[in-house]
Amino acid sequence: MSGAKSRRSAAVAAPSASPQLNGHVESDSIEAEKENIFLFAPNLIGYARIVLAVVSLWYMPLHPRTCSGLYSVSCLLDALDGYAARYLSQSTSFGACLDMVIDRCATTCLLVFLSSAFPRWILVFQGLIALDLASHYIHMYATLSTNGAEASHKNVSKSQSRILNLYYTNKTVLFTVCALNEVFFIALYLLSFSSPLLSPSLLQQMPAVAAGNEATPKLVQQVYNNPYSAGALELARANKMDSTVPWILASISFPIMALKQIINVVQLVKASQRLAEVDRNARTAKGLSTKKSAARK
């Protein structure tokens, strides 16, 4: 009797202990599932790219070789973070956004420098900055508006655009176009230190200085009170390096850079059309387009 009663008591007590146990297990599983997205390997590579880009900007005004090296490494890591994301199954929306923001910001900073180095072409560089930012922003926004928050901006079907489909789905094409686009701007940056064709006053100001000589701070201090003024920086840049290799790089990469700008235009137009279609559908669902048609009649 007492044994049966004790067994019944244990049976009654067991369910009360079960929720505590289940709650503890659920708590552990929740903690295990709460991953730190910010510390994923692809995102860590992205942070390294930011550091390299910032340091390259520090060297950009007067040290072309150091700046170009750091900037190039930052760009090359762009391919590595994508590979890491796929290999480690760590593709995230934050990572995709971070990657795009780093690309846009780095290119914009370089184009801003080119605008100051070649003031006669400032409208061209400003246009390239505006086109790059606008096309990618509207494309990303259109993707999120039409395909949801989990959609990738690289998922472009052939029905939407054949050239965008090839650009985003073929990794070789994507890497080649992006890499040579940056190579062209880096080549222009290097030419700002040496090319009399693009910037005649650069060499005329310092006829006595031999090509490749970087020992110019004393002369700059004698001519300009402020060594950080535009004129002082231009004088200090003169004859820093030979222009042969930069001209070769610029000539090879120019057609691909032009293609990249065409792709940006197509991306801008197609994304705008997709957003307009979303607006039309929303207006139709609310009956606004019908009311407007009736008012016209």
- CATH no. for 37-194+241-288: 1.20.120
Q: Count other Cβ atoms within 10 Å, centred on residue 1.
A: 5
Question: Average pLDDT over the chain, rounded to whole?
Answer: 83
d(CA 214, CA 181): 28
Say yes or no to pLDDT of 127 above 90. Answer: yes
At residue 93's C-alpha, the angle toward residues 92 and 96, to 5°, is 90
Say yes or no to pLDDT of 267 above 90. Answer: yes
pLDDT band at 212 (very low <50, low <70, confident <90, very high): very low
- Catalytic residue, chosen from 103, 132, 242, 279, is 103
152 contacts 85 by C-beta, under 8 angstroms = no
153-178 pLDDT tens trace: 888 889 889 999 999 999 999 999 99
SS3 content of the chain, % helix, strand, coil (to 5): 80, 0, 20
Task: Using a cut of 0.85, tell me whether the model's pTM lies above it.
Answer: no
For residues 194 and 102, the model is more confident at 102
Annotated catalytic, 103? yes
Say yes or no to pLDDT of 207 above 50. Answer: no
At residue 181's C-alpha, the angle toward residues 192 and 109, to 5°, is 55
* Of 252, 253, 234, the residue nearest 195 (C-alpha): 234
